[in-house]
Structure 1
Amino acid sequence: MLGQHRSTQRKTPRGRADDDALTADIIALAGRFGRYGYRRITALLREAGWAVNVKRVERIWRREGLKVPQKQPKKGRLWLGDGSCIRLRPERPNHVWSYDFVESRTHDGRKFRMLNVVDEFTRECLAIRINRKLNSTAVVDVLTDLFILRGVPSYVRSDNGPEFIAKAVRDWIDAVGAKTAFIEPSSPWENGYCESFNSKLRDELLDGEIFHSLAEAHVVIEAWRVHYKTARPHSSLGYRPPAPEAVQWPSNEGGSPPPNAPRVAPKPVMH
């Protein structure tokens, strides 16, 4: 009737009343956790009390131009992608632990080593031992403390480094009732859970920190480990942290699931 095309008649879009507050919290979390994407940020927002879905967070994320910087690809490493590797799969907590070494440097250029121990089923980092030098004696020392605290696992997986294949380590593991599960030489994909943890440790912490002393490295890395196991959302666990207080495995009354059963994190236990 007015001679105007209907596409010119639009209501002025109105944002939600809490858009500004939500946007501010998203930007703050993105600034604090620079290697987290919008899905993990959504999980943190929900933990903070926001009733928000991932699509809304994604819209704000893209509108604000937020993104996770791309990691530089590593050259000279060949990964097997044909699924031909058949390996022991974890079926319950304390079934398979894996451990490995990671190296970094303090500000003066001196190296230090980290021994990381991971429960493959719960994804929990059980310990990170830090020192300038770590040998087979340190491996036994760390495992002794964990076996007393957490119980003895069925298997302990590692690569074929001299610290892990030392006769003293193998004999001690056998003596306490566990079994060793060594990967094939030059096959890091067979130790995928620990390799994944190592990459997250380096990506989210080591690559962005300068340690002025070994004592500072102890404090900062242990604080990150506690955050990793109690607060950091894990996609494989339904975006919940892997700490025992958050993820509980039901009793064995119903039996263990089959080895190829999908990993579904149980509901969190309320205290």
Structure 2
Amino acid sequence: MITMKRHRHTPEQVVRKLREGERLLNEGKDLAEVLRVLEVSEATWNRWRAQYGGMKVSEAKRLKELEVENARLKKLVANQALDIDMLKELAGGKLLTPDRRRRAVAHVRERFGVSQRRACRVVGVHRSTVRLARRVRPDEESRLRGRLRRIAPEHPRWGWRMAYRLLRREACGPWRAVNHKRIQRLWREEGLRRPVRSRKRRRVAADTTVRFRAQRPNHVWALDFQFDETTDGRRLKSLHIVDEYTREALAMRIGRTCTSDEVVEVLTALIAVRGAPEHLRMDNGPEMIAWALRDYCRMTGTRTSFIEPGAPWENPFIESFNGRARDELFNVEEFGTVLEAQVIVEAWRIEYNTYRPHSSLGDRTPAEFAASWTPNTQPALS
């Protein structure tokens, strides 16, 4: 029995052997002798004749190339279909964080049995992100979450941006290296989202003249009133005085009423400590246009600047302060008596000046900005 040595033939070799076998058959040799010379079996001979019979060497080579290309295209289509299936499996949302991307890669590998390289390519993440173990600092994370949970009830109208500014200012903790995106993520994970406030309508002033701006401390003080009530429904009237340059809340005098003489008393106490301002910006309320206040301003050398009637946008700094006071103080606190209101309002004013960072002052408090002011200091942002 002749044992045939198995050999893998190329299409060119097959065509050459077929030609040689046909030549031998034409010379009168039988098929068994031809197969013994070619070292192939009869089944292989028949298969070759059915597949490559009548072909030239170049045609056989081209056929093999087409078969290889066809197999490659089939594999490419199959891989593309598999990638589409994997992407459909991840169609639940955007993979924005490294943790979600790691979980997505693990899910795809377990679900479809693909390699880590391919799963990373489909998810769109670098393999180093998947292989790099997350450095978890549970103590720091828990302390940071606890600090945010303490800030939220103390200041229910603050959002994550204000909390981030406050943490950056705290020298006692390791918060200066905390990224603002991390604070935003933890703030939302803890469910500390601030209630949405509707945007107020802004009207265009009829007067197009340029309003002068404060250039230094004590240059312009802004005055305005704000109203609230105690639990028994009786009215509270709060006088607010703000330095437009330093953003300091100079006074928040609250009571049942506030006459022009009482406004003069508050100004007298402030001037005794800080000196007289150059300008007072205020509206045309009866307390502001009274002769008592006008005479006092004339004697102290302070000029009065009245805004146009019905145009509160001409006094923007005090209006902005009133908005903060309404949002963070009067809408949050409930006053039982006038004395209670005076204590709470004064505590909030001190906190506003010394604790609450102000975005227009470079995240400094008004007191810090005023203490560091020199004639060469850059003016505060509008």
TM-score between the two structures when normalised by the length of structure 2: 0.62
Which residue among 210, 219, 236 is the counterpart of 2:360?
236
Distance in 2 of aligned mates of 1:211 and 1:94? 32
Which residue is equivalent to 2:248? 124
How much has 1:14 moved relative to structure 2?
A: 4.2
Given the alignment of the two structures, is residue 44 of structure 1 paired with residue 155 of structure 2, yes or no? no
What is the CA-CA distance between 1:63 and the residue it aligns to?
3.3
2:223 aligned to 64, 82, 99, which one?
99
Task: Please give the secondary structure, in 2, of the residue aligned with 1:165.
Answer: coil
| Higher RCO, Cα 8 Å, sep 6+ | 1
Change (3 A) 1:244 1:140: farther
TM-align CA RMSD: 2.5
Work out the CA distance in 1 between the residues paired with 2:369 and 2:361: 13
Give me the whole-angstrom Cα distance separating, in 1, the residues matched to 2:322 and 2:356: 15
Letter aligned with residue 15 of structure 1: V
Q: For the Cα contact (< 8 Å) 2:246–2:369, is it kept in 1?
A: no
Note the C-alpha offset of 1:245. Answer: 7.2
Q: Is the 8 A contact 2:205 2:313 kept in 1?
A: no
Aligned residues of 2:246 and 2:370 also touching (Cα < 8 A): no
TM-aligned CA deviation for residue 114 of structure 1: 0.6
1:186 aligns with 2:297: no
Separation in structure 2 between the aligned mates of residue 164 and residue 81 of structure 1, nearest angstrom: 21
The match for 1:59 among 182, 185, 193 is: 185
Structure 1, unmatched stretches of 5+, are: 266-271
* Contact 1:240-1:246 at 8 Å conserved across structures: no
CA distance in 2, matches of 1:63, 1:236: 29
Deviations for 1:221-253, whole angstroms, at most 9, x for unmatched residues?
1110110000011111111110157642113xx
Say whether the 8 Å CA contact 2:160–2:183 is kept in structure 1.
yes
Specify whether residues 96 and 245 from structure 1 end up closer, same or farther in structure 2 by C-alpha distance, changes over 3 A only.
closer
> In structure 2, which of residues 137, 144, 163 is the aligned counterpart of residue 22 of structure 1?
144
Q: Which moved more, 1:103-112 or 1:77-86?
A: 77-86
CA distance in 2, matches of 1:156, 1:33: 31
How is 1:77-226 mapped onto 2 (pairs within 5 angstroms)?
Answer: 79-80=203-204, 84=208, 86-226=210-350
Going from structure 1 to structure 2, the CA distance change for 1:220 and 1:100 (only over 3 Å counts) comes to: same
Question: Structure 2 matches for 1:4-15, cutoff 5 A?
Answer: 4-6=115-117, 7=119, 10-11=130-131, 13-15=134-136
Q: Which amino acid aligns with 2:180?
A: V
> Cα offset for 1:23?
1.6
1:249 aligns with 2:373: yes
> In structure 2, do the counterparts of structure 1 residues 3 and 70 end up closer, same or farther at CA, with 3 Å as the change threshold?
closer
Q: After the TM superposition, which of the residue ranges 134-143 and 235-244 deviates more from structure 2?
A: 235-244
State the alpha-carbon separation in 1 of the partners of residues 160 and 330 from structure 2.
Answer: 22
Amino acid at match of 1:61: W
**1:117-174 Cα deviation digits (max 9, x unpaired):** 1000000000111111111111111111111110011100100001001122112101
Instruction: Report SS of the residue matched to 2:331.
Output: helix
In structure 1, how many angstroms separate the alpha carbons of the residues matched to 2:205 and 2:259? 32
The residue identity in structure 1 corresponding to 2:154 is: R
**Aligned residue pair count:** 255
How many angstroms apart in 1 are the aligned matches of 2:179 and 2:210? Answer: 38
Percent of residue pairs identical: 45
Instruction: Give deviations 1:169-198, integer Å, cap 9, x for gaps.
Output: 112101111100000010000111001111
Matched, 1:70 2:196: yes
In structure 2, how many angstroms separate the alpha carbons of the residues matched to 1:84 and 1:37?
35
- Distance in 1 between the 2:369 and 2:360 partners? 17
* Alpha-carbon distance between aligned partners in 2 of 1:89 and 1:246, rounded to the nearest angstrom: 17
Residue 66 of structure 1 deviates from its aligned partner by: 2.9
Judged with a 3 Å threshold, the aligned counterparts in structure 2 of structure 1 residues 244 and 233 are, in CA distance, closer, same or farther, namely closer
What is the CA-CA distance between 1:21 and the residue it aligns to?
Answer: 1.5
